[in-house]
Amino acid sequence: MTEMVLKNVSKRFGGLKAVSDLDMTVPEGRILSLIGPNGAGKTTVFNMVTGVYPPTRGEIHYNGTRLNRLKSSTIVSHGIARTFQNIRLFGSMTVLENVQVGMHCRTKSGPVRALLKTPFERKEEEAITEKTMELLDFFGLADKYNEYASNLPYGDQRLLEIARANASSPKLLLLDEPAAGMNPIETEALMDLILKLRDTGLTIFLVEHDMKLVMGISEQIVVLDHGQKIAEGAPKDIQRNEKVIEAYLGSGAKAEKKAG
Amino acid sequence: MLGQEIKKLVIYTIFLAIIILPMLGFTGGAEFQAERAFLVFGIGVALLVLNLIVKVIRSHRPPPDHDKPSLPERIGDRLHRIPKIFTLGPLLLAAGTFPLVANNYMIDVGITCLIYVCLGLGLNIVVGLCGLLDLGYIAFYAVGAYSYSLLNLTYGFSFWAALPIGVVLGMICGCIIGYPTLKMRGDYLAIVTLGFGEIIRLVLNNWDDLTAGPNGLFGMKRPPLYYPTIEDGGLDMVTYYLTSLPGLFYFILVIAILIIIGVNRLDKSRIGRAWIAIREDEVAAELSGVPTTWLKLLAYAMGAGFASVAGAFFAAKLSYVNPNFFLFMESCIVLSIVVLGGIGSIPGIIIAGFILIAVPEVFRELEAFRMLAFGAIMTTMMIIRPEGLIPASRKKREFHRQRDEAERGPQ
């Protein structure tokens, strides 16, 4: 079972406790959302999982491997890929190349092979390009492969980020607010895409503020507030959970609800 | 709009007067030489006025259409459509026949140009592709030059035997400077690399026992060529030392072409893409599965390796090295070549290498003002074309064509 397990994970930044004693499991082949008010520590969880910084305490395991002290690029090669809250594409590279970079950890040709242009390198380059075009077809970006990434419209840039993450053939895909800045129609398309990705066998781990998207596609939701897990369960249960409502709307809302 | 421009013109004119009039006026003693000073000043003012007129005319034209590709992009597109044999062929022919028609002085300048093209291409890997600002690059050139010199003088190694050792030493030095700077960016990196460049030069200058200090090393053999002959019925190898300038020119031409091919291949490879990804966004690259630590070290090592090749050739050509060949100024010139040519652009760097080395030679009579002209060219370029002479393009034209054909194929 290739699942991700976080055990007692905490992260401190100086005096600030960004995440404290988080226990959670990302089960294989499902869509799990991590939600919470601003500053709840959601992106911190992503950053710890992907090796941007190690947790202060606790263990992160994936498929039996301890991820705590691994480098980000090594974690990617273990099958965990991510996108970013604020788009981070390689602007002066083409759409094609952006995705090709994502394939780096699944390919081998080094500098010597590149200098000598060995048959192995050529074949690998061909395979990379072919696979990239397949991916771009899947994401509907195939006709824009030769555009500079920075010239793409916003929605396409978001898609390209997911495509690039997918190029590393991950088993677990972390999406950090993929719907941020999208209009309702684009969000709708994004939901379809995430479901389609899930159907290819990917596990999706999502941080998102758009409740329509979260409630629409998540199979399981974990709620964070002030770095602590306050609820976990199916979307329906979360919507009714009082702690969650309080965290999002303040205690006044709870009182109002009780009164009404 | 016009008023503002005229105000600028007046300010610039005052600036020019302050800089040019005293500098050109008091060259032959304390007496003011009005004629020469005002001639140059007049040319400067005329250029400024011309610039004003062009700006005014431009402001009356409709704004440019952003969907249409810019002029350099269109020219680049055209150039790529011409089969390579028509563009590269004449260039190679010109380079090949150059020593036959030029005098020794011109050939010597040509050799220097080619050495700097090699250095520029090597630095392009570090600065242009990987985005690491290196101000001490000339140190690796020194490592190559001194490795060959010492190996040849002390152990009698031939150029060909010493070259790989020099390259490996250069690459090790590249990693030595690369490792501690892995976490640094921008200004901090520039200062550390600058320091490293100076350290290498000072070591060479002061390690008298090994490097003979400021006196330098001399008497290295020229690069040899070997060819077989039949003598006394047996096959024999004859060693021929390249002593003539045309011979050395062809030699460095071949090295330069090999380096151009090598850098071009790296640029278009998986490694090159990873380097550019690091330049664009290091964090995103690492999180896309690119091992940035290893690739940055590799960039330093490869850049240093190419500089070592150029350095070994330089030492072999001159049969003399001393630490003053490797001043900070040289690093600046190589960096200027990369920036002027267009960061990451191979053809741009080749052209810039020739411009920045050959043009100061043309203006040799102006002596001290050469550097002033150098500065003026760089400043002007950065204002009118900050992306360099030939901006780097990552677009794939070949692939474009193939794909169109593939799409048309099945129908």
Q: Which residue of B has its CA nearest to A122?
A: B269
Q: Which residues of chain B have pLDDT under 70?
A: 1, 28, 62-81, 366-368, 396-411
Query: Are residues A250 and A187 part of one domain?
Result: yes
Q: How many CB pairs under 8 A join A and B?
A: 112
What tens digit of pLDDT does each residue of B336-351 get? 999 988 888 899 999 9
Q: Shortest Cα distance from B7 to chain A (angstroms)?
A: 37
ipTM of the modeled complex: 0.92
Please tell me the distance from the alpha carbon of residue B396 to that of residue B399, in angstroms, as a whole number: 6
Q: Which of B266, B269, B395 sits opposite A94 (nearest CB)?
A: B395
Q: Does B307 touch chain A (CB under 8 A)?
A: no
Q: Which of B283, B289, B298 sits opposite A104 (nearest CB)?
A: B289
**Taking Cα atoms as reference points, which of B160, B167, B157 lies closest to residue B307?**
B167
Q: Shortest Cα distance from B307 to chain A (angstroms)?
A: 16
Residue B411 has a pLDDT of 38
Contact A117 B265 (CB under 8 A): yes
What tens digit of pLDDT does each residue of A149-168 get? 999 999 999 999 999 999 99
Query: Are residues A227 and A186 part of one domain?
Result: yes
Residue B401 has a pLDDT of 43
Contact B289 A164 (CB under 8 A): no
User: What residue segments make up the domains of chain B, in order of their start?
Assistant: 2-60, 91-400
**A85 found inside a domain:** no
Contact B270 A146 (CB under 8 A): no
Contact A105 B399 (CB under 8 A): no
Return the residue in A48, A49, A97 with the most chain B beta carbons within 10 A, the one to mutate for interface testing: A97
Query: Are residues A174 and A53 part of one domain?
Result: yes
**A84 found inside a domain:** no
Contact A71 B285 (CB under 8 A): no
Residue B408 has a pLDDT of 47
Output b/e per residue, B153-181; b: 16+ Cβ within 10 A. eeeebbbeebbebbbebbbebbeebbeeb
Contact A88 B277 (CB under 8 A): no
Q: Which residue of A has its CA nearest to B396?
A: A146
Report the number of distinct structural domains present in chain A.
2
**Taking Cα atoms as reference points, which of B333, B343, B350 lies closest to residue B388?**
B343
Q: Does B78 touch chain A (CB under 8 A)?
A: no
Query: Are residues A14 and A45 part of one domain?
Result: yes
* Residue type at A149 in one-letter notation: A
Q: What percent of chain A has pLDDT over 90?
A: 79
Q: Return mean pLDDT, chain A.
A: 91
Compute CA distances B276 → B291, B295, B407, whole Å. Answer: 13, 11, 30
This model's pTM is above 0.80:
yes
Residue B321 has a pLDDT of 94
Q: Shortest Cα distance from B264 to chain A (angstroms)?
A: 9
Q: What CATH number does the domain containing A69 carry?
A: 3.40.50.300
Query: Are residues A245 and A232 part of one domain?
Result: yes
Q: Which of A77, A93, A110 sits opposite B394 (nearest CB)?
A: A93
Structural domain containing residue A111: 92-168
Q: Does B274 touch chain A (CB under 8 A)?
A: yes
Query: Are residues A51 and A40 part of one domain?
Result: yes
Residue A56 has a pLDDT of 93
Q: Does B70 touch chain A (CB under 8 A)?
A: no
Compute CA distances B12 → A236, B48, B56, B305, B319, whole Å. Answer: 70, 8, 17, 45, 48
Q: Shortest Cα distance from A45 to chain B (angstroms)?
A: 15
Place of tokens 């081998």: A108
Query: Are residues A127 and A256 part of one domain?
Result: no
Query: Are residues A255 and A199 part of one domain?
Result: yes
Query: Are residues A195 and A174 part of one domain?
Result: yes
Q: Shortest Cα distance from B13 to chain A (angstroms)?
A: 38
What tens digit of pLDDT does each residue of A132-152 get? 999 999 999 999 999 999 999
Query: Are residues A184 and A128 part of one domain?
Result: no
Strand, helix or coil for residue B386: coil
Residue A121 pLDDT exceeds 80: yes
Residue A215 has a pLDDT of 92
What tens digit of pLDDT does each residue of A25-48 get? 999 999 999 999 888 899 999 999
Residue B381 has a pLDDT of 79
As a CATH number, domain B91-400 is 1.10.3470
Query: Are residues A96 and A67 part of one domain?
Result: no
Which is it for strands A57-62 and A4-13: parallel, antiparallel or unpaired? antiparallel
All residues of chain B having their beta carbon less than 8 Å from the beta carbon of residue A102 are 288-289
Compute CA distances A5 → A2, A225, B92, whole Å. Answer: 10, 20, 62
Query: Are residues A175 and A71 part of one domain?
Result: yes
pLDDT band at A247 (very low <50, low <70, confident <90, very high): confident
Contact B287 A82 (CB under 8 A): yes
**A86 found inside a domain:** no
Q: Shortest Cα distance from B366 to chain A (angstroms)?
A: 41
Residue B217 has a pLDDT of 93
Contact B288 A76 (CB under 8 A): yes
